[in-house]
Amino acid sequence: MAKHTANRSMGTVALRWQGDSLELLDQRLLPAEEHWIKAEGASGVAQCITDMVVRGAPAIGISAAYGVALAARHAGAGDWRAEVHKAIDELAQSRPTAVNLFWALERMKGVFERCESLAEATRQLAAEAVHIHEEDLAANLAMADHALEVMAPEKAMSVLTHCNTGALATGGYGTALGVIRRLHEEKLLSRVYADETRPWLQGSRLTAWELTRDNIPVTLNADGAAAAIMASGKVKWVVVGADRITANGDVANKIGTYNLAVLARHHKVGFMVVAPSSTVDMALASGEDIPIEERDGTEVREIRGIPLAPAGVEVFNPVFDVTPASLIDAIVTEKGAVRNPNITGMRALFA
């Protein structure tokens, strides 16, 4: 299916599979430093996901798949089956919200269970992880096509985005940021407004970095400026990614996405969610069922050890929120778009 290889250069990449090891660009250090980490086996990959060395739903799933491949490579000849299963369980504990993680682990488990020897498992699991990686890149390119059909822009326009959904968050190119790249390639993009995305600053540290590297016109704004930007009539669409999409079309994505959807509806700005079908979880009826990760309060209280708030002040730090389907104009995947999503539209594409 995929006509791209996993390490095909699309400019920025988040991870590099070297055939027998996995290297991850440490996203905690960007944009100050480009530092690559060699993940130490499946446990090392799980730790890198938990610590956000690698983040973004598709990139988490791809990394976990390579983690399973590493588990087979490092397994002893004795109870290698138990070792790989243990690694899968450990990877599944790394972060709770992005369903791409569990989707990738299920896929790896399916391949693993058909293997009859450790040598076969080592080969097949590495090949499957590369397929998952390549398919994600191909899906991103296909999503950009579908998204432009939905937007049908007649002339260059500006859009607003949240968090980072680019090459750093995926197998390459990006989901929402892939759509933005495609608009730019087609000369249909005036400017991207990038929310800084408190508290982890994926927008300022990662999205602004990716876009400036590729000479795509970007204006960074504080999250609280989104309403004023929409009120000024400057943006036609808000384009975001997703961590989990449920059967009724509700969407979990980076905290603050729901705010944007409410604002977009008020200001008659289009609201589009762009994600691969590996982000769709038809087993969950609605967004209420999605486990929402809460991270440590230090992410809000301080930045790189510098206090931004009184020490020990109580913090509420959910890192995702749920946007109800009723506020979404289109969910775009590589399989096509669901406009005005609801259970019927979702089932038609993902049953």
Q: Decide whether 99 or 151 has the Cβ nearer to ligand MRU.
A: 99
254 is in an annotated binding site: yes
| CB of 116 vs ligand MRU, minimal distance in Å | 36
55 is in an annotated binding site: yes
93 is in an annotated binding site: no
- Cβ within 8 Å of residue 120, ≥6 positions away: none
Q: Which part of the chain contacts ligand MRU (CB under 6 A), choosing from 4-12, 123-131, 235-243, 263-271?
A: 235-243
156 is in an annotated binding site: no
Is the dihedral angle over the CA atoms 35, 39, 45, 48 positive or is it negative? negative
Q: Which two tokens stand for residue 236?
A: 């036609």
Q: Which run of H or of E encompasses 351?
A: none
Q: Which run of H or of E encompasses 13?
A: none
Q: Which part of the chain contacts ligand MRU (CB under 6 A), choosing from 78-86, 104-112, 167-175, 225-233?
A: 167-175
Q: Is 243 in the site for ligand MRU (CB under 6 A)?
A: yes
Q: Is 216 in the site for ligand MRU (CB under 6 A)?
A: no
Q: Calculate the alpha carbon distances from 122 to 43, 136, 179, 319 in Å.
A: 17, 22, 36, 35
| CB of 258 vs ligand MRU, minimal distance in Å | 12
∠14-160-239 over CA atoms, to 5°? 65
∠100-348-92 over CA atoms, to 5°? 15
Within positions 43 to 102, which residues make up the interface with ligand MRU, using CB under 6 A?
55-58, 98
How buried is residue 221: exposed, middle or buried, by Cβ count under 10 Å (0-12/13-18/19+)? middle
- Marked catalytic residue, from 243, 250, 281, 321: 243
Q: Is 170 in the site for ligand MRU (CB under 6 A)?
A: yes
Q: Is 39 in the site for ligand MRU (CB under 6 A)?
A: no
Q: Which run of H or of E encompasses 223?
A: none
| Active-site annotation holds for 243 | yes
What residues are labeled active site?
A: 243
Binding-site sequence positions for substrate: 55-57, 95, 202, 253-254
Binding residues vs ligand MRU (CB under 6 A)? 55-58, 98, 163, 165, 169-170, 175, 202, 241-243, 253-254, 319
